Structure 1
């Protein structure tokens, strides 16, 4: 069974709190996607963590460490996904007028399924998550028990901790959106988010 669960929770929480692609993606969804899209993105991102932990338990993610080619291919694919989201955000923001209406009105443009695919692809396109799964997860599992199930269980904890943090983050951003009603400010936030996603994608693809 998993050991040192409190330490593991603290570790995954600190990782989730670090600025990165997932945080930028969640902020983008708050500003443009609507609640259903955001919920789907959270679910997709969480699913990615569970899949990475399952892959680690099965020994599949070890391929990322053993095969530079596989790691590079996944890294580039993940970078392309992030850059695409960044460009899409910038194009949408620069070509339309930012509305101060509640985010729920965006439901007509996107939805849960779209958000889920985006969250899942962003997570699975991050090879660092796979490396974390294969390198760190085993450190919290004892050999005295079902190792596979214990590793997957830690993956579920990892997903829940990360989802909890992103829910808090997006709630804060949503509150800020309600308080800051100037279209120019919202437009600036959207542009900043797009640039961050674009930059992160380029950095991931370049292996920085």
Structure 2
């Protein structure tokens, strides 16, 4: 694997990370109500899911999922159901939330680090754009030869580092803007957007074709 290959991967992975998606929406929802630590818990979940995505791609299980219609459909619909479920919950919270202008204080029972980690892990694991990246694009960067597995996991490591840096910056930004982010009007707007985004990604995953 040449440095040109590595730099090309970093460029493509960076574009994937900074593009809008469920991960960023989850951070925006978590930090105002549960604090900075919970946001970093989300990130830890994101990173873990990257290694699982990478391991599946490297070991060839991803190819099996693409070639087996039944296996692909099961994974696809489970992921779509989860994303839509999160989206519907957010929309219901936006519609039935109390007070359009009342401030929303940090939750009396904020997310535990384990819950924040679990949400981050599941959201990134079932994120359709990440799934497609590791199914379609990642194999093109995988090296062949004696150190192929080690080189491939190095790419996964780089992807996880880019992800951690970007979303850590988001966590710090939202924690500094906590006064704005905790306003009732902003929270209801954010939950509505969150719901729409998660449902859209769920539908996108549900109609995804295995031919990719």
| Normalised-by-shorter TM-score class | 0.7 to 0.9
Please give the residue correspondences for 1:49-128 in structure 2 after superposition, counting only pairs within 5 Å: 49-93=50-94, 94-96=96-98, 99-101=103-105, 105-106=106-107, 108-126=109-127, 128=129
Query: Aligned with 1:198: secondary structure?
Result: helix
- The equivalent residue for 2:191 is 190
Displacement of 1:180: 6.0
Question: Aligned in 2, Cα 1:181/1:46: closer, same or farther, shift over 3 Å?
Answer: closer
Q: Which moved more, 1:129-138 or 1:174-183?
A: 174-183
Displacement of 1:57: 1.4
| Structure 2 stretches lacking a partner, 5+ long | none
- The equivalent residue for 1:203 is 204
Please give the residue correspondences for 1:8-47 in structure 2 after superposition, counting only pairs within 5 Å: 8-47=9-48
Listed one character per residue, the Cα deviations across residues 89-116 of structure 1 (whole Å, up to 9, x for unaligned) are 2333434456443xxx437232111111
Give the Cα separation in 2 of the matches to 1:113 and 1:168.
21
- The equivalent residue for 2:150 is 149
Give the Cα separation in 2 of the matches to 1:127 and 1:71.
13
Question: Aligned in 2, Cα 1:148/1:2: closer, same or farther, shift over 3 Å?
Answer: farther
Query: Aligned with 1:108: secondary structure?
Result: coil
Aligned length: 205
State the TM-score, normalized to the length of structure 2.
0.82
Give the Cα separation in 2 of the matches to 1:118 and 1:5.
30
Listed one character per residue, the Cα deviations across residues 63-98 of structure 1 (whole Å, up to 9, x for unaligned) are 122123222221211111111112222333434456
Question: Aligned in 2, Cα 1:149/1:134: closer, same or farther, shift over 3 Å?
Answer: farther
| Structure 1 stretches lacking a partner, 5+ long | none
- The two structures, once aligned, show a CA RMSD in angstroms of 2.6
State the TM-score, normalized to the length of structure 1.
0.83
Question: Aligned in 2, Cα 1:145/1:10: closer, same or farther, shift over 3 Å?
Answer: same
